[in-house]
Structure 1
């Protein structure tokens, strides 16, 4: 609707200018004729006196019409400018609201996905094979736990690996020892995921870290979830160690930012992003800046909104969280470069 209003305003402006220019041309020619008529009347002397009066009136009439034409051009131009301004504002607000909704949709989709990850880590930490790997610590228990983790990974393809660490922070078994061979035996006691996982107060709790690259997982970007593995798999059991699960971030997040419902034309001029609470680019539809670019989002403490810069519109929405997953304060963000006529 706003696009139609703007196109109509531009067309009215064009047609008005064209027609007023034609009137100006006719009046210019009329003025020239009136001048010539007065000259001829002057040559005719008294015989041309009456005609001189007519010529004078023709000149006056041409002047009046030129004045009216000028007033019309000015009035139309002023109102067209107001109409264009109103149409541009309507277009900006409609697009801003729509993009803000799409930005929220992007961050909601990823948080719903990550909520499932929080469920996975709490569930798998109670698996008897995982608990026995730490409770017994013998080779047979560790191998069985590894086989169990490998079975999970074959079904849940969004994970790179699953690690079991003892209470000292040494990884004792994993689901993919053949692929990530440096993991088993590694000391992870200083890592955020292990420390937060061991600090959980019950089996109902979990820990999540912002997206980071993991050297032991081929420097892949991962979302790390963890919780304590407890004696007997009990909710309040003694903490034996921690389970860490590592979500393969890049392909999952890329599919979300590329799949947001923009038109083909909008997609060509837009960038859809997921941003951390500190505006670090976590994913971008143009595949640029992941974990290296800090985007200059101006949310001004608003949880949702949009604004305009010199040549673009930026819409944003903060995650509302999902179920028991409160999220990490991430943002969905859409930036669109504007055409000069918008």
Structure 2
């Protein structure tokens, strides 16, 4: 982890400075003892480096997990469709009739042409093999010398009680290499087996496409699909993870994220499929590997550059994004620095006005100690800030990845719908019945549609209609009232003009009575006469879009390491009109405007989007991806639909005033710290502090010391119109503590660094609540401008103001020097210190 090594070196250099300053402090009798602070920073930096290493490792593993999980989940969703395909195709009328008839060259040529028609639509198959009960191959798509198929998968398909047989291995009648096949028996009208149909899935081709979408250019990650036994089924790199490579099964059990392979160490992550509609796939795992020497060099890049300080401040407070230990480190560093600043400040107060020979040296030493503390905290803050930026960039990338996953799964899903309608339109029974309709024929068509719909649960209804748009059959008995009615939707006439089995129609995403007046997509294809190509009618498949799209989005939500969706995360699908198609959040109803508008044209031009947006007063990490199609669907079939998937995760509240934060030693620090009045010039030292954005101070001779605000007891009664914050025990005596901000009419910023400055004023000992401590510069009396020269207000308890300039001599703000005697006199007028203490108690 090179970045952490850089921070370790920086901390080592600072630790050396602490060693020197501690020694000098011990040599100087008046300097503040630094050994405790030195030890505290030493422990803090060790803890910080440990947390940084853990967070860096976890980020790399999370990135691997996302890619490996996406790879296996996309594959399983694809294979789920194959389990339905084999069931329908095995029930195809033409295939059944061929097996029932005597073998002939003409019949074989006809059925093999049908196989070619099928694969022209479903290009995921490399071969289709039809085997009769005697194990003779009656027809097939791809040339092969085998004449028979005597394999256990054939027997299993003939006798299994399931709905399909899935097999991965070497099948001698398919290939000498391992193949993934789906098989099922072909039955006659009496449900007696006639033979077996085998679909050979193009696994290597499909995995190459999945890996290509998940791995960007210059990505060191290697992805693979592996068996639980460690056999590589397919890999993204034929050199590092070739198919057939044997890995140790223990490397897949997450006991150790480091594995050795080919003489190289890799960070590894293996993921099981989350399944799809109860289907878990062949049991394979998604595996992600990245060389250990490159695993931690991949940062947020361009994404992290746009993450500002206000966003980081908002993000840091989010418990779900960062560990409690890491958030505590930042607070611990600030607390140590706060204690150090107070110690140095008090040490400087003790030196104020001293004429001792070593007083000047002690002052310089004290401020060097303070400077070392600031540098140490700055490195702590920088390292944590860099990590926060990296984590936020990782969340942005996660949103982009999940949006790309959602749109890819949607495209793949709709690819199947466009194919289904075209294939089912080729069913010989449909053509015969539409050519010569009879009540028995209509019922037969309804039975076929019902069988199909039972296999393909993604449809709410399948409808067969004639050339006049009259419904002939439906798949759902509850929709039987549609039979005999005429469909008048725009897509009906368009379907009847289709002149090729390769063309299909699809409706707009809009409400339809065929889906209880909800919005959905209807895919259609023309049913043509066996000869002549005359259109006899069409088939319409009503996509069950509401649950199907909702399931896609639910599976696409960005998650934590335990797989739980990140708090407040949501995902939406948005159409080209900017309206919601589906949403994981009930706030965004279907048909409403997108909560986060995205320009589809920009996505098409620039690629997937990852950015920070503001929504409802919160910073949001947003990822968006445009529909790109899948295989032929929306890439070469003429169909276009600019659907955008958007994933968003809240990062934190937008601060009402991001610039209200105070910083110790703010305005004018450089000028006053560097400037010292000439010898012989009347001067005095000012102990300065900050309240909100205002720089204030009192004469150092009037200050006792600064103390921690912890232990402040609230007042039981109101006093001084809310000016009394309470009392603080100091040297055994209760001291009234005032809200100086209210007295001066300054907005109270309530900084986490608040301190109490104890002062002596007109016979009283008072405490003043301040946000942070500043410098203790020496100021010439002549530089102090009376307040009457600036304002007509006579009730402001101040001696005057000191104008400051920056290094170029330009005005750089003012320091207001308060008059503690006037403060005390005003408070004595309200009853003196005794009354104040009584009010505090």
Q: Which runs of 5+ in 1 are unaligned?
A: 39-54
Contact 2:499 2:533 in 1 (8 A): no
1:230 is aligned to 528
Deviations 1:274-301 (A, max 9, x none): 2223332222222443422221323461
1:47 is aligned to none
> Is 1:301 the equivalent of 2:602?
yes
**Which whole-Å CA distance do the structure 2 matches of 1:87 and 1:340 have between them?**
20
2:585 to 239, 262, 286: 286
- Normalized against structure 2, the TM-score is what? 0.35
**Which whole-Å CA distance do the structure 2 matches of 1:195 and 1:289 have between them?**
34
Deviations 1:131-150 (A, max 9, x none): 12321123232222122212
1:21 to 321, 337, 342: 342
Judged with a 3 Å threshold, the aligned counterparts in structure 2 of structure 1 residues 320 and 15 are, in CA distance, closer, same or farther, namely farther
Contact 1:313 1:335 in 2 (8 A): yes
Deviates more, 1:79-88 or 1:240-249: 79-88
**Which whole-Å CA distance do the structure 2 matches of 1:266 and 1:147 have between them?**
42
Contact 2:340 2:370 in 1 (8 A): no
- Normalized against structure 1, the TM-score is what? 0.80
2:542 to 233, 242, 246: 246
Aligned with 2:632: secondary structure? coil
**Which whole-Å CA distance do the structure 2 matches of 1:139 and 1:182 have between them?**
15
Q: Which has the higher contact order (CA 8 A, sep 6+)?
A: 1
Deviation at 1:317, TM superposition (A): 0.9
Question: Between Structure 1 and Structure 2, which shows a larger proportion of strand residues?
Answer: 2
Bigger CA radius of gyration:
2
Q: Which runs of 5+ in 2 are unaligned?
A: 1-55, 60-321, 635-639, 656-841
2:430 to 130, 155, 175: 130
> Is 1:269 the equivalent of 2:573?
no
2:631 to 323, 326, 332: 323
Deviations 1:74-109 (A, max 9, x none): 656766665565444333322222221111111111
Judged with a 3 Å threshold, the aligned counterparts in structure 2 of structure 1 residues 291 and 200 are, in CA distance, closer, same or farther, namely farther
Contact 2:598 2:624 in 1 (8 A): no
Judged with a 3 Å threshold, the aligned counterparts in structure 2 of structure 1 residues 22 and 248 are, in CA distance, closer, same or farther, namely same
Aligned with 2:340: secondary structure? helix
Instruction: Please provide the CA RMSD for this pair.
Output: 3.0
> Is 1:336 the equivalent of 2:633?
no
1:146 is aligned to 446
Contact 1:147 1:175 in 2 (8 A): yes
Judged with a 3 Å threshold, the aligned counterparts in structure 2 of structure 1 residues 174 and 341 are, in CA distance, closer, same or farther, namely closer
1:187 to 475, 479, 486: 486
1:46 is aligned to none
Contact 2:421 2:524 in 1 (8 A): yes
1:103 is aligned to 403
Deviations 1:151-171 (A, max 9, x none): 222222221111122222222
1:16-165 alignment to 2 at 5 Å? Answer: 16-28=337-349, 30-31=350-351, 35=353, 55-68=355-368, 71-72=371-372, 86-165=386-465
Deviations 1:275-331 (A, max 9, x none): 223332222222443422221323461230111123111111112211221162222
Question: Between Structure 1 and Structure 2, which shows a larger proportion of helix residues?
Answer: 1
> Is 1:208 the equivalent of 2:503?
no
Deviation at 1:60, TM superposition (A): 2.4
Judged with a 3 Å threshold, the aligned counterparts in structure 2 of structure 1 residues 336 and 321 are, in CA distance, closer, same or farther, namely same
**Which whole-Å CA distance do the structure 2 matches of 1:146 and 1:69 have between them?**
88
Deviates more, 1:302-311 or 1:75-84: 75-84
**Which whole-Å CA distance do the structure 2 matches of 1:63 and 1:292 have between them?**
69
Aligned with 1:309: secondary structure? strand
Number of aligned residue pairs: give it: 317
Aligned with 1:297: secondary structure? coil
**Which whole-Å CA distance do the structure 2 matches of 1:279 and 1:85 have between them?**
36
Contact 2:462 2:539 in 1 (8 A): yes
1:218 is aligned to 516
Judged with a 3 Å threshold, the aligned counterparts in structure 2 of structure 1 residues 14 and 237 are, in CA distance, closer, same or farther, namely farther
